[in-house]
Amino acid sequence: MESKTIKISKENYLWLLKLAAELQKNHERPISFDDAINKIKDEKMKKGSLLEFAGRWKMSDKEAKKFKKDIKKGWKKWEIPSF
């Protein structure tokens, strides 16, 4: 594996070190900085489920009723294109 040297601040180094230590504790095996960076990359690229957002949008009952009304109005206008 080819390696590269990069400069990072002490703050970022300590943060990455802490992350690697947490991963090592969870996986019960040695974790390199490369492993820790891959974990960050994988989480950033992971496509989540819409269910992750359930309950996160705070709105009043009035806002919810308006939202539902607007959605229903939009559905009535929606057409499936013919091919």
**15-54 pLDDT per residue, tens:** 999 999 999 998 899 999 999 999 888 887 777 777 777 7
Are 33 and 19 in contact by the 8 Å Cβ rule? The answer is: no
pLDDT at 83 over 70: no
Structural domain that includes position 21: 7-46
Q: Is the pTM of this model over 0.75?
A: no
Count of beta carbons in the 10 Å neighbourhood of residue 22: 13
3-state secondary structure of 22: helix
Q: Evaluate whether residue 27 is within a structural domain.
A: yes
Segment holding 3, helix H or strand E: none
Q: Residue 80 CA to chain centroid, in angstroms? A: 31
Q: Evaluate whether residue 68 is within a structural domain.
A: no
Q: Evaluate whether residue 13 is within a structural domain.
A: yes
Q: Evaluate whether residue 25 is within a structural domain.
A: yes
- Between 4 and 51, the more confident residue is 4
Q: How many domains does the chain have?
A: 1
3-state secondary structure of 14: helix
